[in-house]
């Protein structure tokens, strides 16, 4: 079996349009909140979460408990690692090779992904996009308690919107 599906096994045009619309619908409220408040209600790991919820809604890792729980552990682990190892630093550009600050930032990310993975596996709240959330925080991009709360509110709203939309997805074709 190849990496790509055969043309016969790929989603139909109607399924592609529906699934894309569902993915974007999941983000629409958050986009409005981010634009209207100037706060980070949209951040990179929400895209993969929205995609997973829209495309593979019946997958175990797309269940609402795992989505919220995984991101919670991502936020918690990211905050712990960042504030313990790299407070005040931000990776907005590539750090100089072998710089102490660069080491602290990448170590913070490394530790955060490890902590997030342990927490998700031990609690069965596995949701891969949460590892992106933990990197967003541990690399110094969203590091305050307010940022952490906004991330969790965003994830909860994503899950809420998902529960209100018609079921769909193209997984299992």
pLDDT in tens, 56-105: 998 998 999 999 999 999 999 999 999 999 999 998 888 889 999 999 99
Q: Does residue 33 lie in a domain region?
A: yes
pTM: 0.91
Count up the domains in the chain and report the number: 1
User: What is the extent of the structural domain holding 119?
Assistant: 11-164
Establish if 51 belongs to a structural domain: yes
Chain position carrying tokens 């992106």: 132
Give residue-wise pLDDT tens across range 140-169. Answer: 999 999 999 999 999 999 999 999 998 777
Q: Say how far apart CA 77 and CA 143 lie, in whole Å.
A: 11
Q: Is there a domain that residue 5 lies in?
A: no
Is position 169 within any domain?
A: no
Give the whole-angstrom CA distance, residue 140 versus residue 92.
Answer: 8
Domain-located, residue 136: yes
Report how far apart, in Å, the C-alpha atoms of 140 and of each of 19, 90, 92, 122, 173 are. 33, 4, 8, 26, 40
Residue 95's φ and ψ, nearest 5 degrees, are -65, 155
Query: CA–CA separation, 101 vs 117, rounded Å?
Result: 24
CA distance 123 to 73: 10
Mean pLDDT check: name the lowest of 43-52, 66-75, 125-134, 160-169: 160-169
């Amino acid at each position: 079996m190849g990496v790509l599906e055969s043309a016969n096994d790929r989603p139909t045009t109607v399924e592609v349009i529906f699934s894309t619309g569902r993915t974007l619908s999941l983000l629409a409220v958050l986009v409005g909140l981010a634009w209207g408040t100037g706060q980070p209600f949209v951040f990179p790991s929400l895209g993969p979460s929205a995609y997973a919820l829209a495309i593979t809604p019946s997958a175990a890792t797309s269940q609402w408990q795992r989505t919220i729980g995984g991101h919670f552990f991502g936020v918690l682990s990211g905050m712990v690692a960042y504030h313990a190892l790299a407070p005040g630093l931000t990776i907005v550009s590539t750090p100089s090779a072998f710089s102490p600050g660069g080491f602290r930032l990448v170590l913070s990310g490394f530790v955060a992904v490890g902590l997030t993975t342990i927490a998700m596996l031990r609690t069965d709240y596995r949701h891969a996009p949460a590892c992106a959330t933990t990197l967003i925080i541990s690399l110094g991009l969203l590091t305050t308690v307010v940022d952490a709360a906004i991330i969790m509110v965003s994830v909860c709203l994503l899950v809420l919107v998902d529960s209100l939309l018609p079921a769909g997805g193209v997984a299992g074709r």
